[in-house]
Structure 1
């Protein structure tokens, strides 16, 4: 028996019921009452278990991708082979360079990093360059309230009362930002994620209308999100920093944006691109250029992988936390957020294991 031979790779959907103090928001045109991702459980022949997380829009589809494509290529292979993941990427490339197959590989990649750190008996940040900070500030990332100014003010005040000192909105109007600014006061950083609200020729005037309310950055301002030329032009004429990357369909394209400082903040998602790609994006950021501020709208092993990456990278940024009430809070006891801060775990690997109810699939449907 070889300790590092992969014995199994399993996908466990993680659909966490949530409430955000109003009726469910719409996602893909339908009401959304669960926040979805998927645990990736990797086990080697000696019984060592490691964990990753994949972006998951449709659980049945992702489970099938793991069962039919990922597991057959991974099982029986050495987990410590540097050729494993690149080989799988090339073997599967004709199935698409974005979407569920890449999301599945991203989750496997995170699990392989967790396994490497566990084998080395070190926290993951040690493999990413070493820990530069012991804890990170966390910002409250509000879901969409569709411009309801009263509710936006209420939820903002609630988050600030719990110790958060930075806020992000998923809104598209100056009026919504103004309501939050009045509730938060003049000194609280407020980021605005518009979810690709505007065509390139619309973005400038829409952002200009927000300037009196001092947004910290404007996230995903244009459609399509990968239009690098339009983003560069907007950056040159915009008085607010821009942030992009959550919707990156290519890790290489996002790395080029980081190298070229196309925008001020690049935001790789580890559960879409993988930790390896996110690390490469982070390392492509140069002093005085773009800053890597990973997108972290998820709660499982990918959340912890992002925490380790942000603890290790040179430039300090604030960690995103979707501000909702969850039916179950992953790592709520082992890696808690307290008064707007989170400590970087020092245990081997990611630093904590998914709770038994998650590992056993309690929230799989």
Structure 2
């Protein structure tokens, strides 16, 4: 079996009637995901997804220009050697950011291909699933711009619709400013607690919005309100500051969605962070997330991956999480997850608050090929 083609493209999640996004007004682009497809000489293919920041365009260009030529003619079962070679070939582009996202997409595509070649779902190739169903938590963004009543309305709507095991309210504020409205943030957190009751599991994602002092003030309030975790209270690149907040608060402080390497994850843990949240579309794909799981297990910290992509990244995430013996938190279900349903014949969506891991070979994705083609935007270099 040899690789014959590596194709990179975006998937346009805009409204109906937009074939490839081409009839959108000039200069405007809707949300897009970054996909890669690897084909072999025996007719099999594997699909992967890169981090979608700015549509994942940088990662896709790196794949198309710098990585794909080295994969043509290679045996896809030489998976680890191929990706380690590409990482060191392109190391001066990273090792963090777009290059790591590119490797994550290729890694997932190669696992998908391997599962199809062997006729097995990925979780079987990883050693088997401890569980085939996992509860979701509703990750609700945009609350920096909402009033208290607006926050409550969207939380109530999501809980009623999705039946999640937990809710995380996210701020998504202006990252160039800190401590903008601490008192208002605490009021919103208190209102959500009152709405959902004392026993409902709640998380608070500050999206890097506070100084150390601001984070301490909000964190103490969250402790009093019975919140379970406090996500990225300070800027992610201030690892020592993140660790200081984590060590001074009783509430579990989490971080890591903007961490791209195992070394970076290790640094967060050594700083004192007790819950790490790497993203499979950034952190080396399936192979990288399994390595993160081993590091987290060895240090006795929780692994709760960040996952806002409702399609291939989400499926890959489910396969990995199903294999973990100690899964301490539900699986993230972010805003706008319905958008991916159009391209799948078997969209992965929560049923009564539960995700089910697919049993079909590879990732288990079955595509509506005509819809996927309609929404595809090729990458030319």
* Short-chain TM bin: 0.7 to 0.9
Q: Tell me whether 90-99 or 319-328 shows the greater mean CA deviation.
A: 319-328
Runs of 4+ aligned residues of structure 1 deviating over 6 Å after TM superposition are none
Hey, what does 1:346 align to over in structure 2? 359
**1: distance between equivalents of 2:129 and 2:244?**
36
How far off is 1:55 after superposition? Answer: 0.9
Q: Tell me whether 150-159 or 201-210 shows the greater mean CA deviation.
A: 201-210
Hey, what does 2:47 align to over in structure 1? 51
Hey, what does 2:216 align to over in structure 1? 204
The 3 A distance-change label for structure 1 pair 261 and 353 is: farther
Matched, 1:279 2:275: no
Matched, 1:194 2:191: no
SS at match of 1:339: coil
How far off is 1:230 after superposition? Answer: 2.5
**1: distance between equivalents of 2:358 and 2:339?**
23
Note if contact 2:345-2:366 (Cα within 8 Å) is conserved in structure 1.
no
Q: Tell me whether 172-181 or 327-336 shows the greater mean CA deviation.
A: 327-336
Hey, what does 2:38 align to over in structure 1? 42
Hey, what does 1:296 align to over in structure 2? 307
Note if contact 1:197-1:221 (Cα within 8 Å) is conserved in structure 2.
yes
**1: distance between equivalents of 2:299 and 2:101?**
31
Hey, what does 1:137 align to over in structure 2? 135
State the TM-score, normalized to the length of structure 1.
0.88
The 3 A distance-change label for structure 1 pair 33 and 157 is: farther
Hey, what does 1:15 align to over in structure 2? 12
The 3 A distance-change label for structure 1 pair 139 and 159 is: same
CA RMSD of aligned residues (A): 2.3
Hey, what does 1:360 align to over in structure 2? 373
The 3 A distance-change label for structure 1 pair 257 and 62 is: closer
**2: distance between equivalents of 1:332 and 1:341?**
19
How far off is 1:323 after superposition? Answer: 3.1
> Which consecutive residues of structure 2, in runs of 5 or more, have no partner in the other structure?
16-27, 172-181
Please give the per-residue CA displacement for 1:137-177, whole angstroms capped at 9, x wherever unaligned: 01111121324211211111112212223111112711221
Please give the per-residue CA displacement for 1:32-74, whole angstroms capped at 9, x wherever unaligned: 9944321111111111011110113334444422221121122
> Which consecutive residues of structure 1, in runs of 5 or more, have no partner in the other structure?
19-31
Matched, 1:148 2:160: no
The 3 A distance-change label for structure 1 pair 324 and 50 is: same
The 3 A distance-change label for structure 1 pair 191 and 128 is: same
Match of 2:92 among 79, 94, 111: 94
**2: distance between equivalents of 1:213 and 1:205?**
13
**2: distance between equivalents of 1:363 and 1:176?**
39
Equivalent pairs counted in the alignment come to 347
Hey, what does 1:169 align to over in structure 2? 169
How far off is 1:133 after superposition? Answer: 0.5
How far off is 1:346 after superposition? Answer: 1.2
**1: distance between equivalents of 2:348 and 2:192?**
29
State the TM-score, normalized to the length of structure 2.
0.84
Please give the per-residue CA displacement for 1:65-105, whole angstroms capped at 9, x wherever unaligned: 22211211222222111310000000000112122222111
